[in-house]
Structure 1
Amino acid sequence: MKTSNDVEALERLIVQLGGMHTEISQLAKKSPNDALNAFKLKLVNKIIAAGNTILPQDYRPFEDFEQFDSDDMPTNSDVTLILTQYMEQAERFRSDNVVYEGYKWYYKVDDRTSDIIAAQPTRVGDK
C-alpha cells in the first residue's frame, strides 16, 4: 500500500465485503437458486468494483471477473461464492501488508512500517 488512504480503503472494503456476505449468505441458505434483486446486485457490483480497484492484480480472485451482469441476474449462491473469494483475497492482501513490531501489528505503507495499528494477520506466508 502506498498511502494511509489505501489502508482506509482496504479496511472499508473488508467491512463491506463481510457485511454483504453475511446478508447474501442468509438468503442463499434459504433460497440458494433465487435471483438477487436489482437493488442488491447494484450494491454487490459496487463493492466488487471497489475490490478490483483496491486489490492489486495478483490478489484479485479472478483476473477476468469485473462484475455481475444485470441482464443475467446471478443467484444468491453465485453471489455468495464470489463475495467469499473477494473476502479471502482482501484478507490475504491485508495480512501480507502488516508487520509485528513492539508487541503490536502495524500496516506497511510505502514498504515501511507505519503508525497505523492493524489486526493480527490471519494468513501467514508469501503470496
Structure 2
Amino acid sequence: MALGHRFHVDQDGHSVTVQFVGGAGGFEVLVDGKVVAYGPGRRKGGTVTAELPGDPPRPFAITVSHPREMGGVPFCVLESGGMRYLMPQIPLGGAGERPARRGPYRPVRRLRRFLRRSLRRLGRR
C-alpha cells in the first residue's frame, strides 16, 4: 500500500477516517480525530475492529484491500450494524485547498545558477 491514501466517511454523527502511515502499508483508524485502531503493517491489507463512542458503544470494522487488487489503489470498507459502506478516498490536502505553490518562476536566477555550475565544472578539468 502506498503512502498518501486517506479515506473518510461520516457514520452515525461521527467522523471515521482511515489514513495510511509508514512504508510497510500500516494504517490507522481515527474516530472524531482520535486514533482508535491500527491496521497491520504488512502489504496485504487487513481488517481491524473499533467502537464508535456513545452509550452503548457501537462496534464497527474496517476492511482494507490489497492495493494490487484494484490497480495500485486500495479500497476501504466500513462495516457497521450489518451494513457495509464503501469509504471514498479523499485528497490529503483537504477539500477545496489548492496545492502548495513552489514560488515564482525566476529565469534570470536559474540562468545565473546554471552558468556558475557550468564554470565550476570547467574549472575542475
Range of TM-score over shorter length = under 0.3
Q: Which one has a bigger Cα radius of gyration?
A: 2
Between structures 1 and 2, the one with greater helix share: 1
Between structures 1 and 2, the one with greater strand share: 2
Question: What is the TM-score with the length of structure 2 in the denominator?
Answer: 0.23
- RCO greater where, 1 or 2, for CA within 8 Å and sep 6 or more? 1
